[in-house]
Amino acid sequence: MTYAEYLALEDASETKHEWSNGEVYAMSGGSPEHSRLQARMIVALSLALTGKPCAPFTSDLRVYVAAAKRSTYPDVTVICDALQHADLDPHAATNPTVLVEVLSPNSEAEDRGEKWALYQRIPSLAHYVLVSQHRPRVEVYTRTELGWHYAESLPGDSFQLAALGVAIRVDDLYAGALAAG
């Protein structure tokens, strides 16, 4: 399907779809814990970015990776300065500084594999953050002059997003976890 056909489908559909060089994939809904962690990350980033030229966006923001001809909906996107739109899609951003994915059993392999390879092709991307929904654990990949640096943060730690000038406590992100039942 062409990108124009994909955009028409997205406008008419209640379900989000990702587009990959002509192929379209429906996205499944997340668990309550996935949604809670996504919301907590947005709140933490919003508070930490107050007064800074960066803003977090929900998973409603489409990100277009021109180098791979692929459109995705990351769980959280942070864009600094002016949002740059894809030429062929005025509702898709092309310049994320931070992308966050909350890991789920259905998405973890893709988030660590194909999407991670895809996101590395975004020139503006400084941090890729993976948030576990099964235990308090945040993984951050940071772009450096020598490649990507990996750091894991656990309870009691803070994870750094140096490109934003912020640190977020893992304990704050996971506070108020949902009771099983």
Domain extent listing, the chain: 31-61+74-174
Overall CATH class of domain 31-61+74-174: alpha beta
What mean pLDDT do residues 136-143 have? 98
Query: Which of the 8 DSSP states describes residue 1?
Result: -
Q: Which residues pair with 148 in a beta bridge?
A: 143
Predicted pLDDT at 106:
83
> Does 84 or 23 have the greater pLDDT score?
84
- Burial string for 64-81 (b: 16+ CB within 10 Å, else e) reads bbeebebbbbbbbbbbbe
Residue 180, pLDDT > 50, answer: no
Tell me if the pTM is above 0.75: yes
